[in-house]
Amino acid sequence: MLAFVIRRLGQSLLVLFAMSLLVFASVYLIGNPADILISMDADQAERARLAHAMGLDRSLPLQYAQFLWRALQGDLGQSFVHGVPAVALVFERLPATLELAAVAMAIAMGIGLPLGLWAGLKPESFAGKAIMTGSILGFSLPTFWVGLMLIMVFSVQLGWLPAGGRGPTQELLGLQLSLFSLEGWKHLLLPALNLALFKLALVTRLTRAGTREALTQDYVKFARAKGLSPARVVGVHVLKNIMVPIVTVVALEFGALVAFAAVTETIFAWPGAGKLIIESIGLLDRPVVVAYLLVVVAMFTLLNLLVDIAYSALDPRVRLGDAGA
């Protein structure tokens, strides 16, 4: 088991190094931040001084070498616009994004699991077919359009919920969260629902497919033959066995929620890391863009590593097969 973990950890470090190279090269080849940060009336000497101060006059390989050396020390550069460490700026906004993603995933799991079970247990019923049709809509509807519709209905027409912003926050374990007040939930509900829609459809379809497959297995047939109640068959034998792949996918999809929350955060003016990256791209604030992307890559890599370790602990065939390869 220890050898498996060390091997996976080494692979994760290689992935981080490769992604840092790709992210750095792709971001630093786009545009010149000096053109945005300096006045249009500035002469070439002033532009050259600014480029030197920002380190933009060095060759790309040298810039990357310096960036990598600083990154190994936890320094991902200074924001060109805000004048503060880029990674600190990202982590300052990240709790809002994590909070939004966590609530969105809770909504997706809380609604998607029961709907998927119902559709799997009664696939030919009207409700089962309606659930599957709704899941197709969840995959198909654009996030930005759904967000605008939610604002129009619940904020403009009904006036029940605010259209944007974040409610009052309280500190918990060093994180500023808005989950502890009614006003915070009012601001959180619409963007979380908008972000959850795609994942809700995914969880519903995964649960439905897993339920349909589990119902054909011998252990379920045997449980029914023993005279167990339908609720016990579903709760103990069906749901328990389909939760492993669902939880695995959900763990990886949580990283996707954090990474792709930018559209939702922009629509609802949610002050998270996604909104920060959109603003930074527009201003060519390269250190912030690179820091954000590397944080997201590290998050995905860590989630994959934890899933691999969990699978190897639950199923020894995984690490044995890996050793044989």
Give the pLDDT of residue 143.
85
3-class secondary structure per residue, the chain: CHHHHHHHHHHHHHHHHHHHHHHHHHHHCCCCCHHHHCCCCCCHHHHHHHHHHCCCCCCHHHHHHHHHHHHHCCCCCECCCCCCEHHHHHHHHHHHHHHHHHHHHHHHHHHHHHHHHHHHHCCCCHHHHHHHHHHHHHHHCCHHHHHHHHHHHHHHHCCCCCCCCCCCCEEECCEEECCCCHHHHHHHHHHHHHHHHHHHHHHHHHHHHHHHHHCCCHHHHHHHHCCCCHHHHHHHHHHHHHHHHHHHHHHHHHHHHHHCCHHHHHHCCCCCHHHHHHHHHHCCCHHHHHHHHHHHHHHHHHHHHHHHHHHHHHCHHHHHHHHHC
* pLDDT > 90 fraction of the chain, expressed in percent and rounded: 8
For the chain, what percent of residues have pLDDT higher than 70?
A: 84
pLDDT at 247 over 80: no
Q: In the structure, what pLDDT confidence band is assigned to residue 279 with cuts at 50, 70 and 90?
A: confident
Distances (CA, A) of 174 to 29, 180, 184, 258: 36, 15, 18, 19
Residue 103: predicted pLDDT: 92
Nearest to 208, CA basis, from 136, 118, 133, 129? 118
Mean of pLDDT over the chain: 80
Given this model, what pLDDT does residue 315 score? 55
173 has pLDDT over 80: no
Q: CA-CA distances (angstroms) from residue 150 to 191, 198, 247, 261?
A: 9, 15, 28, 16
Distance in angstroms (rounded) separating the CA atoms of residues 229 and 232: 5
Structure confidence at residue 192 (pLDDT)? 92
More confident residue, 136 or 229: 136
pLDDT for residue 248 is more than 50: yes
Alpha-carbon span 294 to 13, nearest angstrom = 12
Q: How confident is the model at residue 111 (pLDDT cuts 50, 70, 90)?
A: very high
pLDDT of residue 325: 47
181-240 pLDDT per residue, tens: 888 899 999 999 999 988 899 899 988 888 888 888 777 787 788 777 777 777 777 877
Rounded distance between C-alpha atoms, residue 114 and residue 124, angstroms: 16
291-302 average pLDDT score: 82
Could you read off the pLDDT of 16-65 as tens digits, one per residue?
Answer: 788 778 777 766 666 666 665 566 666 667 767 766 666 666 777 777 78
Q: Which of 32-41, 142-151, 242-251, 299-308 has the lowest mean pLDDT?
A: 32-41
In terms of average pLDDT, the best of 72-81, 131-140, 242-251 is 131-140
What pLDDT is recorded for position 86? 84
- Among 83-92, 268-277, 293-302, 309-318, the least confident range: 309-318
The residue that leads in pLDDT, 139 or 237, is 139
Tell me, what's the pLDDT at 189?
92
